[in-house]
Structure 1
Amino acid sequence: MLVVDDDEVIRQLIAVNLSLEGFEVSTATDGQDCLERVHDVMPDVITLDVMMPYLDGWVTAERLRADEATSHIKVVLITARAQDDDKRRGMNIGVDAYLTKPFDPAELIQVVRDLAALARS
């Protein structure tokens, strides 16, 4: 599990919730950090904020999908951007789920649990 968000509070909130559910969690502070860490971590699922400095979630997701080594990783976009166009853009990139902030931690856990199970099957 790799949690990517430039907001430390959100990043830790997601990481703690997932850790409490038994997931092994690593974190990254932005898209560039994610792309640098993903090959070492090779997570089943990545939660990815959209609006981040250096490399946003859109570009990060596109690069994850374009890389044969990471294209299979399940990606959950978590963002305050709730417009239909934003959701369509995420789905066109090939993300597996799209949650809007503020998100329900129970919903996030269920989405990650379901995607992790799919990744392992």
Structure 2
Amino acid sequence: MPRASGRILVVDDNKVIRQLIRVNLELEGFEVVTAGDGAECLEVVHQVRPDVVTLDVVMPRLDGLRTAARLRADPRTRDLPIAIVSASTQYEVDAGFAVGVDAFLSKPFEPAELIGLVRQLAEREVGGTAGDASGAGSPASLSRVRRRTGESGTPAQA
């Protein structure tokens, strides 16, 4: 499988989770920048200019859903692919889709799930626009695949 490319901004208040995500994505060829919460994300997003942002939901200062809403409200980041990587409730999933989150990945997750999701979002950013409603990288197909939080809460076994 070809190595990926692109810059990913990983936002999580848990340092261990940030490092886990960073290592897995870097092993696939992504450049990774991290932030400890939503407020830090908003401070660095314009300097870093990521291709994809992953957000935890529960974080101090500014949570992931409010961060996603602010990213969508800013013309400079309105089309930036956003994935929530969190142990989310169905309410949070619904609220996330309402503010424009592209996909959810439930914790705990398999590294291959994370890599596949980020790769799809990064390819969508490089290959087209966020408004593209067709193809495997569209928000509808990603959200359908990743809407797993209402189930058992455990990762799917391949």
Which category describes the TM-score, using the shorter chain as reference length?
Answer: over 0.9
Q: Please give the alpha-carbon distance, in whole angstroms, between the structure 2 residues aligned to 1:90 and 1:69.
A: 19
User: Which of 40, 43, 48 is residue 47 of structure 2 equivalent to?
Assistant: 40
Of residues 105, 111, 116 in structure 1, which corresponds to 2:111?
105
1:84 to partner: Cα distance:
2.1
Q: 1:116 — aligned with what? A: 122
- Stretches of structure 2 lacking an aligned partner (at least 5 in a row): 1-7, 128-158
Runs of 4+ in 1 over 6 A off after TM superposition: none
Larger RCO (alpha carbons 8 Å, 6+ apart): 1
**Does residue 89 of structure 1 match 2:95?**
yes
More helix by share: 1
The aligned residue for residue 3 of structure 1 is 10
- Deviation readout 1:6-46 (Å, 9 max, x if unpaired): 00000000011000000011000100000000000111100
Structure 1's unaligned 5+ residue stretches are none
Determine the C-alpha separation between the residues in 1 that align with 2:54 and 2:43. 15
Number of aligned residue pairs: give it.
Answer: 120
What is aligned with 2:81? 74
C-alpha separation in 1, matches of 2:27 and 2:93: 29
Q: Partners in 1 of 2:35 and 2:124 — Cα distance?
A: 23
TM score, norm. by length of structure 2: 0.74
Aligned-residue sequence identity (percent) comes to: 57
